[in-house]
Amino acid sequence: MSKFEDNMEEIFDIDVSEETPTEIVKPAENLDASKDYEYTRGELYRLISQGQEAVQGALEVAQESGHPRAFEVAVNAMKQVSDMTDKLIDLQQKMKNLNKDDEKKGPSSVTNNAIFLGSTAELQKMLKRGKVEE
């Protein structure tokens, strides 16, 4: 045991030679992600539905009163409902990207920084043939 370990044992009053069992917990990412997606989707649908009812009520009040502030409130409510529908679409796109990332586990088909090792004459022959030899 090193002097450092001895000092650490003394300072923290622990025994380094004892091994502490560690448990590796693998997160259930797909399960949690799909569960969260379904919950968020349901909440957004509920909020959009309630928002539409609020917009209808605000429009009725605005039309009956004719007050500019009532119309402003109705328009703001419409914008909020519109934003929630955009969030619903964004949620679907994010879930699609998560699923795509899970499926994409192989090597990428993009080749960066390809290098030709050979003479200029070989390169010209290869270009004339129109194909690259592996």
Q: What is the pLDDT of residues 16-31, one digit of tens each?
A: 565 555 555 555 555 6
Residue 76 lies inside a defined structural domain of this protein: yes
Model pLDDT, residue 123:
80
Task: Please give the angle made by the CA atoms of 43, 44 and 47, to the nearest 5 degrees.
Answer: 85
Residue 77 lies inside a defined structural domain of this protein: yes
**Burial of 33 per CB tally in 10 Å (0-12, 13-18, 19+):** middle
CATH number of domain containing 94:
1.10.287.1060
Q: What is the DSSP letter of 117?
A: -
Could you tell me the pTM of the whole model? 0.52
Low-confidence ranges of the chain (pLDDT < 50): none
Model pLDDT, residue 114:
72
d(CA 58, CA 75): 9
Domain count, the chain: 1
Residue 92 belongs to domain spanning: 30-100
Start-to-end C-alpha separation, the chain? 53
Model pLDDT, residue 87:
93
Q: Which residue type does 66 have?
A: G
How crowded is residue 55: how many other Cβ atoms within 10 Å of its Cβ? 20
Residue 122 lies inside a defined structural domain of this protein: no
Residue 78 lies inside a defined structural domain of this protein: yes
Residue 69 lies inside a defined structural domain of this protein: yes
